[in-house]
Chain A
C-alpha cells in the first residue's frame, strides 16, 4: 500500500501541540496507523514540543511535591510483564482508535441511510468543535457539488474516491477549506468508505441539496 496524500504540516503541528479538536485528532491517529511516513513526521513534531519544554522558564513547585510523588509510587506493584492481548483479529480493516469509537470492525457496523446510495455512521465525540462521521458511497456515486464554511478532512479507508483530478485510496487524506468547491465521486469497484471530519456545516450549491441539508445533518 502506497499512500500518496499525507497530513499537512499545519494539522500535524496542531495534533502534536494538543490543540487539534478530538474529531480531527481521531482522523489523524487513524491515518498514522496506516502511514509509517507520517508517523516519522509526527515524532519530529513531538520533538518540537520537547525542545520547547527544555527552553521554557522554571516555575517553582511546592516543596512537598517530590515526597508526595514518591509516597504514591513506593508501594506500586511491579508492572505486568506482558500487555493484554489485542481485541482484534489479525485482519482488522479499521485501525485503532477508530475501531473503538465505532464499537467494532467493518462487518459489525450499523449503517444508517443518509440519501440514495449514501450511508453514514455519526461518531460521538466529547468535543463539539467538529463532527466526525463514517461515510459509505456506492461505486460511481457523485456527492452533490459543495463548498465549505470551514475545514473538511477526509480519510479513505476502503474503495477509492476521485476528488479534483486525484484518485484517493486507503490511507489517503484530502484536506479542503472554505475556498474549495468540489464534487468528489466514489471510484469504480468496491464501495468507498471514508472518515470525514468537518468543523462547520457544508455549503451545498444546488438548491435541492441545500433544502435537504438540515435533514441530513451535514
Chain B
C-alpha cells in the first residue's frame, strides 16, 4: 500500500526535479516537462481519488481535471512555500471536495485587505517553510509501515477507528494506539514550530 520509504536525499532531488518541471510549464509551456509531471502525479492522484471512494471513471475525471489545473496554475506555484507534492495534493483535494462531497471547502484569500499579515519576519523565515516540510517528511519516514498505513486511512479516507480495524484486520485498540503515536510525532513537529511565535 505504501511505497517503501526512499532516502531523504532522493526525495529532495525528486522534489527539485518536479519543481523545475512546474516552472518550465509556467515559463515555456513545456510539454516535455508536463509529461514528466504527468507520469509521476496522474497515477497517484487517481489512487487518492479511489481512496476517497470515487469509482474508476470518476477518479479518471478528477485526475484529468487536476492535471489541467496544474498546467493552468503553474505560474502560481511557489517552491519557497510548498513542495510540488504538497501543492498538487491541495489541488487534488479541493477538486475532490467539489466533486465527490458536493460541498465546499472555504479558504482564506491571501489578498484580502482584512487578512492579518505576518509580523516582520527575519529574512531567513522563507526558507523555513520548506525546511519544516522536510522535517515532517523525516518524521513520517521514521514511522513504521503499519503506523503510516493507519495514518493514511485516517487522513485520506476519514475512516472511523472500527472501519480501519476491519479493513486491516487488527484490533481497534491497536488502531487507536498507532494513530495516537503517529499524531504525537507529527504534533511535536507542528508545535516545536509554534513555541517561538506564541
Contact = CB atoms under 8 A, between A and B. Distances in A.
The yes or no verdict on A and B being binding partners is yes
Interface of A: 1, 9, 12-15, 17-22, 25-26, 28-30, 32-37, 39-41, 43-62, 65-66, 68-70, 72-73, 76, 79, 83, 86, 88-99, 101, 125-127, 171
A79 B193 contact: no
Contacts of B156: 17, 52, 56
B114 A36 contact: no
A28 B140 CA distance: 25
Contacts of B67: 65-66, 69
Contacts of B85: 50-51, 53-54
Interface string B77-115: 000011111111110111011000111111111011111
Contacts of A55: 2-3, 5, 140, 148, 152
A41 B113 contact: no
B190 interface: yes
Given A48-B186, A54-B85, A30 B136 contact: no
Interface of chain A: mostly helix, strand, loop or mixed: helix
Contacts, number: 228
Contacts of B129: 40, 43
B84 to A, nearest CB: 8
Contacts of B152: 52, 55-56
Query: Among the interface residues A29, A39, A47, A89, which one has the most CB atoms of the partner chain B within 10 A?
Result: A47
Given A44-B133, A44-B193, A52-B155, A88 B44 contact: no
B117 interface: yes
Given A48-B186, A96-B109, A171-B116, A43 B82 contact: yes
Contacts of A17: 93, 155-156, 158
Contact of B193 (A33, A34, A40, A61): A40
A97 B89 contact: no
B72 A30 contact: no
B118 A48 contact: no
Nearest to B137: A51
Given A47-B86, A73-B68, A25 B105 contact: yes
Given A65-B64, A69-B67, A22 B133 contact: no
Contact of A86 (B1, B93, B113, B116): B113
Considering the complex of A and B, which 7 residue pairs feature the smallest CB-CB distances, nearest first?
Answer: A50-B86, A58-B43, A50-B85, A92-B114, A49-B89, A95-B114, A19-B158
B43 A18 contact: no
23 contacts: A18-B96, A18-B101, A25-B106, A33-B116, A36-B117, A41-B193, A43-B82, A44-B189, A47-B137, A50-B82, A52-B152, A53-B88, A53-B89, A57-B47, A58-B47, A65-B38, A66-B35, A66-B67, A76-B72, A86-B113, A95-B108, A96-B114, A125-B104
